[in-house]
């Protein structure tokens, strides 16, 4: 994130925390989606939309984060 100049106001430990949240969210997404049966395209779409919302929430919160 530092190389992309995203959230330049945040210290490295806060960026690592945010990255950890993103990785955890995406790992959960992958396992949930892989657990679906092939005949459940609507469920896959719903899960995908939910995880996109979760990532948006992470980044919206990160923009307001005040490191201690």
Could you read off the pLDDT of 27-63 as tens digits, one per residue? 999 999 999 998 989 999 999 999 999 999 999 999 9
The neighbour count for residue 10, using CB atoms within 10 Å, is: 19
Stated pTM of the model: 0.81
Which of the four pLDDT bands, split at 50, 70 and 90, describes residue 2?
Answer: low
């Amino acid at each position: 994130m530092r190389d992309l100049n995203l959230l330049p106001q945040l210290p490295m430990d806060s960026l690592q925390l945010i990255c950890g949240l993103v990785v955890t969210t995406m790992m959960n997404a992958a396992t949930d989606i892989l657990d679906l049966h092939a005949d459940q395209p609507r469920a896959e779409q719903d899960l995908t939309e939910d995880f996109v919302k979760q990532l948006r929430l992470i980044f919206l919160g990160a923009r307001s984060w005040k490191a201690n």
